Amino acid sequence: MAGNGSPGAPSFPEAGPEFGPPHPLLRLLQEFTIEANRYVDAAGERKDMHRTDMNALAVIMRHTARGNVVTPGLLRKELNLSSPATTALIDRLDHAGHVVRERHGTDRRQVQLKMTPKAFQEGGAIFAPLAQHMGSAMAGFSAEELDTATRFMTAMIEATVAARTESG
């Protein structure tokens, strides 16, 4: 894996002026993150949704796609929110018609969150232009190049999660 010290792996300098400039790929990742955040902010504003609301729907969608039950506790943990903030978030999503609260089938004490068809429809409309532009950009790369990019992005995500976990 990149940056793990194995022979032939690229070495990325540490962050900070005393270590020199970061690798150009790290700068590009920062720029991508900033532009993706700007897109989410602009899209959220058009639908009168907070960034946290958009992130919550993404969490619910990701876990639902994996077959996981999404509870308020899971949402709180994933978004690093307090219990009152999580309740306020779920209330906003519920009032907007984006989620419903349902009792879990086997444990009626447990509340699970489910996205509504409205949330899927609006989410598709919000992210369709981004998906179209990204699809067009990806079309210029071979399957092998996309494979390499996928491995790289996976490694960067894992590195980011590891850094967050170690620091917190």
Q: Total domain count for the chain?
A: 1
Give domain status of residue 3, yes or no.
no
User: Nearest 5°: phi and psi at 48?
Assistant: 55, 45
> Which residue has tokens 């306020």?
88
- Identify whether 88 is part of a domain: yes
- Inside any domain, residue 164: no
Segment of 7-16, 33-42, 142-151 carrying the highest mean pLDDT: 142-151
Task: Kindly state whether residue 13 falls inside one of the protein's structural domains.
Answer: no
What's the CATH code of the domain at 38? 1.10.10.10
In-domain check, residue 162: no
Instruction: Identify whether 8 is part of a domain.
Output: no
48-99 residue pLDDT tens: 888 899 999 999 989 988 999 899 999 999 999 999 999 999 999 999 999 9
Give the separation between CA 5 and CA 8, rounded to whole angstroms.
8
Query: Domain range spanning residue 46?
Result: 25-156
Whether residue 77 lies inside any domain: the answer is yes
How many residues are there in the chain? 168
Look at residue 44 and tell me whether its pLDDT is greater than 50: yes
DSSP secondary structure string for all residues of 82-124: -HHHHHHHHHHHHHTTSEEEEE-SS-TT-EEEEE-HHHHHHHH
At residue 5, the pLDDT reads 46
pLDDT band, residue 14 (cuts 50/70/90): low
Q: Each residue of 86-106: pLDDT tens digit?
A: 999 999 999 999 999 998 777
Model pLDDT, residue 2? 44
Is residue 111 within 8 A of residue 71, CB to CB? The reply is yes
Q: Which tokens belong to 75? A: 């949402």
**Contacting residues for 168 by C-beta, under 8 A, at least 6 apart:** none
Quick: pLDDT tens for 115-164: 999 998 988 888 899 999 999 999 999 999 999 999 999 999 999 999 98
